[in-house]
Structure 1
Amino acid sequence: MLCQYKNELKEMIEEVKGFTNQGKVADYIPALADANSSTLAVAIFNGNDTCFSAGQSNERFTLQSISKVLTLALALMDHGGELVFSKVGMEPTGDPFNSIIKLESHAPSKPLNPMINAGALAVSHLIKGASTEEKLERLLNFVRRLSGNDSITYNSEVAKSEFETADLNRSLVYFMKQHGVITGNVEDLLDFYTKQCAIEVDCHDLAKIGYALATDGAAMNQEEEIMNPYIARIVKTFMVTCGMYNASGEFAIKVGIPAKSGVSGGIVGAVPNGMGIGIYGPALDEKGNSVAGMKLLEAISARYRLSIF
C-alpha cells in the first residue's frame, strides 16, 4: 500500500509537471529569482511514521505568505480573537495580495483579512516579544513544534533581500500607522516580517504543519495540543476563503481543501481530520500561486476525494 501511494504521487507529478512552463519564479524578490522553475515536489502526512512523497521533496524553500497562517495562530494565542480582529477584518478581497486600495476605500482603515500583506503586517505587529529576536524565536519555536523539526530556522539571505526591496510593504505599514492600526517602529516591524517570510522548510515539514492544522492543533503524535481547536478552525476558515490570494474562490471549487500559498512556490494543505499536504513548485501564475502546484493539488483532491464541500 505504501508503494501504491508513492507511485500514484509520482504519476500525478508527471501528469501536471508540464504546467511549470506556464509560470515564472518570483524575481521581484531577488533572492528567489534563482529557483529552478521546473521543480515540483509533494509530501503527504497522515499522522503515521511514514510521509509519502514524490519529486524533490527534501529541497528547502521559504514560507513567504504561508507564514501568515502561523503568525495569525500565534497572535490569536497571544491575545484572543477580540483584539486581533479589532486590527484586521475577516472578509475576502478580490484585489492582489499587496494592494493598498482597500485600506484607502474602507473605514475604519484596517486590512480586510490576515492573508493579504497589509493584514499579515498588522497581525505580525501583535506577536508578543520585546525585540525582533524574541518575536522571531517564539515564532520559530511554534513552527518547530508544529513540524516536529527542531532545526528549522530562517534564510538570512532571503530575509535581507526582502527587507531591501520592501518599499510597497513599507507604504502599507506607514498608511496603517497613520490610521492607528499599528504603532511602533516601521523598520522593526519590517525586519520581523521579512524574517518571518524567510523561515525555511521542505515539503515534509510543510505536510506536518498542515497535519497539525488538519487535526485542530494536535502535534504529530496526537498527544500534545499546540493550539486549541477554536484557533485551528479560524485559521482553516481563512485558508479556505483567502488562502490562495484572489484565486481562492476558483480553488475552493476545483480543490476544496483549506490551503495557503506563498510566492516561493510553496503550498500547505490541511484536510480536516485527515492529512497535511506540502507542495513546492516555484513557477507562479499571475496571482502568485504555484501553477503546477495548484494542478497537483487538484489532481490529489480528485483522486482521493478530499474536497470538504
Structure 2
Amino acid sequence: MADLAELVDQIAKDMATTPERGRVADYIPELAKVSPAHFGLVAITADGQEVAAGDADLPFSIQSVSKLFALVEALGRNADAVWARVGREPSGSAFNSIVQLEAEGGRPRNPFINAGAIAVTDLVAAGDDPRAGVGAILRLVRRLAGDDGISVDGAVAYSEAATGHRNAALAHFMKAHGVITGSVDATLSTYFHQCAIAMSCRQLARAGRFLMHGGIDPASGEAIVSPERARRINALMLTCGHYDASGEFAFRVGLPAKSGVGGGILAIAPGRACIAVWSPGLSAQGNSLLGTAALERLAGAMGWNVFNPDG
C-alpha cells in the first residue's frame, strides 16, 4: 500500500499540471470568477492522520455538498417526513431536471438532486424564517468541522438567488403538489444560502468524519447519527451523490461521495478515511473533473473501495 502523505502530495503536483481541467459553473456569476487552476486535497484516516496538499485551506463554495448536511439536519428532526417527500432511487437525469419531477407527480427521486434537496430544505427552513434554517445547517457544519469561522458567502448566495430561476420553478411545482408546505420564498432563500456555505478541503474533510466512524464524531465522541443511519446516508451518497454520473463514479472510484458545482467532493471510505477534494472545473454532468480523477487514483492506490473486501 502506498504511503498516504507521499501519494497525496504527488497527486496534487500532477493535477496542478494537468491541462484539461473542465469548465467552471459559469451559469452562477460568482462561481464563473473562480480560476480552474485551483486544486486542493485532504485525507483524514480513521486513526486521525491528516494529510493535505495543494489549496487545502482555501475556502470555496460547497454548493450541493451542503445537501448532505441539510439531510442530516432534517433526518434528525423528522425522518419519516423526509422519506414521505423524497425517494431513495438514483435519478438518471440531470441534477436540475424538471421533466422527471413532472412525470413523477412532484416527488423527487432522491435528496441529492436539486428538487429533492429543496424539499428537504423546506423541512429545515422553520416555516417562514430562512435565517433559522440556514443557521441550523451552519451550526451543524461548524460543530462537525470544529470551526466556528465557517460562514456563508453572501455574494454567492445573492448570485444564486438572482439566477436560480430553474430552482424556483422546481420549488413552485412541488408546492403545487403539496411536497413543499412552507413558503417557497423562504425555502429557496434557505437553499441558496446553504449552497453558498464556504469551506476549505480541510474543514470539509473534518466535517465528514462522522460518516467513516459509524455516525460518531471522533473529535467529540458525539453520536451525530445512528450507525444504521450513517450506513444509509453512505448508501445514498454512493448511488445518488453524483447525479447522472453516480454509476460512473461508483465504477471508477467505488466510494460514497457527494459532489457540488463549486468543484468540491466529499468522499467516505467507511472505517478507513474521509477525503475532501476541490477543483473548480466540472464535467458535463456538473462534477469536478480533476477531483474525480484524483479520488480514483487515491482510492485505487490505498485500496479504499467499498467493493474491495480488504479495503
Task: Confirm or deny: 8 A CA contact 2:46 2:271 kept in the other structure.
Answer: no
- Structure 1: gaps spanning 5 or more residues: none
Q: Name the aligned partner's letter for residue 246 of structure 1.
A: D
Match of 2:160 among 162, 169, 183: 162
Q: Name the aligned partner's letter for residue 78 of structure 2.
A: H
Aligned counterparts of 1:33 and 1:16: Cα–Cα separation in 2: 20
Q: Deviation of residue 298 (structure 1)? A: 0.1
Across the two proteins, how many residue pairs are aligned to each other?
306
Partner in structure 2 of residue 114 of structure 1: 111
Aligned counterparts of 2:224 and 2:93: Cα–Cα separation in 1: 33
Identity %: 38
Q: Name the aligned partner's letter for residue 108 of structure 2.
A: P
Q: Deviation of residue 19 (structure 1)? A: 4.5
Task: Go from structure 1 to structure 2 and tell me whether the alpha carbon gap of 1:231 and 1:64 turns closer, same or farther (over 3 Å shift).
Answer: same
Task: Confirm or deny: 8 A CA contact 1:40 1:280 kept in the other structure.
Answer: yes
Partner in structure 2 of residue 183 of structure 1: 181
Q: Deviation of residue 184 (structure 1)? A: 2.6
Q: In structure 2, the residue corresponding to 1:36 is in which secondary structure?
A: coil
Q: Over aligned residue pairs, what C-alpha RMSD do you find?
A: 1.8
Give matches, 1:142-161, under 5 Å.
Answer: 142-161=140-159
Establish whether residue 237 from structure 1 lines up as the match of residue 239 from structure 2. no
Task: Confirm or deny: 8 A CA contact 1:20 1:281 kept in the other structure.
Answer: no
Task: Go from structure 1 to structure 2 and tell me whether the alpha carbon gap of 1:143 and 1:117 turns closer, same or farther (over 3 Å shift).
Answer: same
Partner in structure 2 of residue 64 of structure 1: 63
Give matches, 1:211-250, under 5 Å.
Answer: 211-221=209-219, 223-250=221-248
Task: Confirm or deny: 8 A CA contact 1:145 1:219 kept in the other structure.
Answer: no
- Structure 2: gaps spanning 5 or more residues: none
Aligned counterparts of 2:18 and 2:190: Cα–Cα separation in 1: 34
Task: Confirm or deny: 8 A CA contact 2:46 2:212 kept in the other structure.
Answer: no
Establish whether residue 289 from structure 1 lines up as the match of residue 287 from structure 2. yes
Aligned counterparts of 1:85 and 1:49: Cα–Cα separation in 2: 34
Task: Confirm or deny: 8 A CA contact 1:145 1:226 kept in the other structure.
Answer: no
Task: Confirm or deny: 8 A CA contact 2:266 2:275 kept in the other structure.
Answer: yes
Partner in structure 1 of residue 12 of structure 2: 13
Q: Deviation of residue 49 (structure 1)? A: 5.4
Q: Name the aligned partner's letter for residue 116 of structure 1.
A: I
Residue-by-residue CA offset, 1:201-239 (whole Å, 9 max, x unaligned): 101011112221111221132622122223222211110
Q: In structure 2, the residue corresponding to 1:7 is in which secondary structure?
A: helix
Q: In structure 1, the residue corresponding to 2:276 is in which secondary structure?
A: strand
Q: In structure 2, the residue corresponding to 1:21 is in which secondary structure?
A: coil
Aligned counterparts of 1:39 and 1:114: Cα–Cα separation in 2: 29
Q: Name the aligned partner's letter for residue 297 of structure 2.
A: A
Aligned counterparts of 1:133 and 1:165: Cα–Cα separation in 2: 20
